[in-house]
């Protein structure tokens, strides 16, 4: 399988490293980072790309654009792993549309375009007889989309509950375990590399809500937008609230919840029994699917990370090629 890769951030580099180290049957024929690009229908060494990026800060030829890779390279699937713009989905959205309209599969970890334009992109893929796959957009390494597509085929999913943001879960775990205040736990999360310098996008619940929109639209073939989600973040939570919950064998987690029958589409801190499978510690993610036949199925795993996200991209690529 031949792929063109857009983006050489942590995820793109993780993918290239796995292609270099493992025998996956995947050949890179086009690549672009933010400054340069390369096209070679005979294949480009993933190892050499990583070395070039590491040594000089860019991967290829500064006169070639990412769009040229999308429109001119010879590939089966475009792997779109540029940074997420949750508001417009750009420039990823334009790249994805260009690839689909060329009749190329698209595999992406980019939440922006999938949350914004799920229906139109799905329709465009269908028209051109190709697939749009986005396992990596939700819950990192956890193959929830594959689970919905295959393992739970035939089931009606009635509700989905998720812990979809590792930063928030780390903060809440530390507040509960050590009695830290929100500010203390946030500072620790920053030091551990779990929180960004500006944590707003995570702690206000926006990141969780975007993932909920993607999950919900996937399960129920819906048209939900970020604006449709009722969102409460974790930044107003007190240590007292957590302590009270803990005293009764409960804890507080930032839960994303979609229940179409009850018109629920919300992200909010929730009190939940500690024995519930969804209650994971630290930066883990968890998703519970409530189904009519299989009952409640819970998936737990790492929600982020370079190689973990690459695992999801590779699962999608191997599904397309297999």
Find where tokens 């996200």 sit.
Answer: 309
Q: Among 75, 95, 170, 319, which residue sits at the site for a second copy (rule: CB under 8 A)? A: 319
Q: Is 193 in the site for a second copy (CB under 8 A)?
A: no
Q: Name the nearest CA neighbour of 136 among 7, 47, 260.
A: 7
Q: Which stretch binds a second copy (CB under 8 A): 16-24, 67-75, 164-172, 206-214?
A: 16-24
- For every residue of 233-285, DSSP letters joined together read -STT--HHHHHHHHHTTEEEEEEEEEEGGGTEEEEEEEEEETTSTT---TTEE
DSSP codes, 54-94: HHHS--SBTTS-HHHHHHHS--SEEEE-PPP-TTT-TTHHH
117 binds a second copy (CB under 8 A): no
Beta strands in the chain (DSSP E): 2-6, 27-32, 37-44, 77-80, 105-108, 132-133, 157-163, 230-231, 250-259, 264-273, 284-291, 296-302
Q: Which is nearer to a second copy, 98 or 320 (CB)?
A: 320
Q: Which of 2, 146, 190, 204 binds a second copy (CB under 8 A)?
A: 146
Interacting span for a second copy (CB under 8 A) from 71-79, 185-193, 227-235, 294-302: 294-302
Kindly indicate which of the ranges 77-85, 153-161, 224-232, 239-247 contains the residues binding a second copy, using the contact rule CB under 8 A: 153-161
Question: Which residue of the set 104, 111, 211, 302 is catalytic?
Answer: 211
Q: Does 315 bind a second copy (CB under 8 A)?
A: yes
Q: Which of 118, 128, 141, 201 binds a second copy (CB under 8 A)?
A: 141
Contact between 214 and 249 (Cβ < 8 Å): no
Torsion angle in degrees (nearest 10) through CA of 257, 258, 262, 264: 70
Per rule CB under 8 A, is residue 308 in the interface with a second copy?
Answer: yes
Question: Cα(1)–Cα(133) distance, rounded to whole angstroms?
Answer: 15
Contact between 151 and a second copy per CB under 8 A = yes
Q: Report the residue number, 173 or 206, with the smaller CB distance to a second copy.
A: 173
Nearest Cα neighbor of 274 from 298, 239, 246 is 246
Segment interacting with a second copy, rule: CB under 8 A, options 81-89, 140-148, 215-223, 235-243? 140-148
Q: Contacts with a second copy in 252-291 (CB under 8 A)? A: 275, 277, 280-281, 284, 286, 291
Q: Is 252:172 a contact under the CB 8 Å cutoff?
A: yes
Question: Measured from the CB atom, is 146 or 190 closer to a second copy?
Answer: 146
Distance (Å, rounded) from C-alpha 153 to C-alpha 312? 20
Size of the site for a second copy (CB under 8 A): 46
- Quickly count: other Cβ atoms within 10 Å of residue 94's Cβ: 15
The Cα–Cα gap between 92 and 289 comes to 29
297 is an interface residue for a second copy by CB under 8 A: yes
Q: Is 171 in the site for a second copy (CB under 8 A)?
A: no
What lies within 8 Å, CB to CB, of 58 at 6+ separation is 33, 34, 35, 36, 52
Residue 162 CB, shortest distance to a second copy, in Å, is: 14
Distance CA 79, CA 63 (A): 21
Q: Is 104 a catalytic residue?
A: no
Decide whether 263 or 275 has the Cβ nearer to a second copy: 275
* Interface residue with a second copy, options 10, 147, 226, 259 (CB under 8 A): 147
Query: Considering the rule CB under 8 A, would residue 103 count as an interface residue with a second copy?
Result: no
Residues that bind a second copy (CB under 8 A): 18, 22, 24, 135, 141-143, 145-147, 149-155, 275, 277, 280-281, 284, 286, 291, 293-302, 305, 307-308, 310-312, 314-315, 317-319, 322
């Amino acid at each position: 399988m031949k792929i063109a890769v857009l983006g050489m951030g942590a995820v793109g580099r993780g993918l290239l490293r796995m292609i270099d180290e493992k025998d996956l049957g995947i050949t890179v024929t086009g690549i672009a980072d933010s400054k340069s690009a390369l096209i070679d229908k005979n294949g480009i060494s993933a190892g050499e790309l990583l070395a070039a990026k590491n040594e000089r800060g860019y991967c290829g030829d500064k006169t070639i654009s990412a769009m040229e890779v999308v429109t001119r390279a010879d590939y089966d699937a475009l792997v779109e792993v540029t940074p997420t713009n949750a508001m417009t989905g750009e420039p990823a959205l334009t790249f994805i549309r260009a690839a689909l309209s060329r009749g190329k599969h698209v595999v992406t970890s980019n939440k922006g375009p999938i949350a914004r334009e799920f229906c139109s992109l799905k329709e465009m893929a269908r028209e051109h007889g190709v697939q749009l796959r986005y396992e990596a957009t939700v819950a990192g390494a956890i193959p929830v989309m594959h689970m919905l597509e295959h393992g739970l085929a035939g089931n009606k999913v009635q509700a989905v509950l998720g812990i979809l943001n590792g930063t928030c879960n780390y903060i809440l775990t530390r507040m509960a375990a050590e009695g830290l205040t929100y500010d203390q736990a946030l500072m620790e999360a920053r030091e551990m590399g779990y929180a960004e310098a500006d944590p707003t996008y995570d702690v206000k619940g926006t990141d969780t809500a975007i993932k909920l929109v993607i999950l919900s639209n996937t399960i129920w073939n819906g048209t939900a937008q970020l604006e449709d989600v009722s969102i409460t973040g974790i930044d107003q939570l007190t240590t007292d609230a957590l302590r009270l919950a803990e005293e009764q064998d409960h804890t507080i987690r930032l839960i994303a919840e979609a229940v179409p029958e009850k018109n629920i589409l919300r992200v909010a801190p929730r009190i939940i029994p500690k024995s519930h499978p969804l209650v994971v510690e630290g930066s883990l993610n968890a998703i519970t699917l409530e189904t009519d036949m299989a009952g409640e199925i819970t998936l737990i795993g790492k929600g982020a990370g370079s190689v973990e996200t690459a695992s999801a991209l590779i699962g999608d690529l191997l599904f397309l090629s297999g």
